[in-house]
Amino acid sequence: MKKVYLSLGSSLGNRIQSFNQALNKLKTIGNIVETSFLYKTDPMYNTNQDFYLNAVILFETSKSPLELLDRLKEIERVKFL
């Protein structure tokens, strides 16, 4: 199993629910070892939007880097709202 750090962020809809759903999806491709706190941050560059919630997780997976990227992009495309 390889250990990787993943950054998560959400600025749309119910952010907490989106995080929980994303974490549940991640469990299908590996193990969540540890999570940071959730941090509220102001948007940058395009400041005409809501605040973000951000976190980092330590994640274990047997996927290759490209397989992991493909799966993460699939999860990212899913609308949780």
Q: Residue 43 is part of a domain; what is its CATH number?
A: 3.30.70.560
State the pLDDT at residue 36: 97
pLDDT score recorded for residue 49: 87
How many structural domains compose the chain? 1
**What pLDDT sits at residue 76?**
87
**What global pTM score does this model have?**
0.83
pLDDT at residue 79, rounded to an integer: 60
pLDDT, tens digit only, all 81 positions of the chain:
999 999 999 888 899 998 999 999 999 999 999 999 999 999 888 888 889 999 999 999 999 999 999 999 998 887 654
* Of residues 18, 25, 28, 13, the one with CA closest to residue 55: 18
Q: Give pLDDT, residue 47.
A: 87
Q: Domain limits at 6? A: 2-77
Q: Which residues contact 11 (CB under 8 A, 6 or more apart)?
A: 43, 49, 50, 51, 52, 53
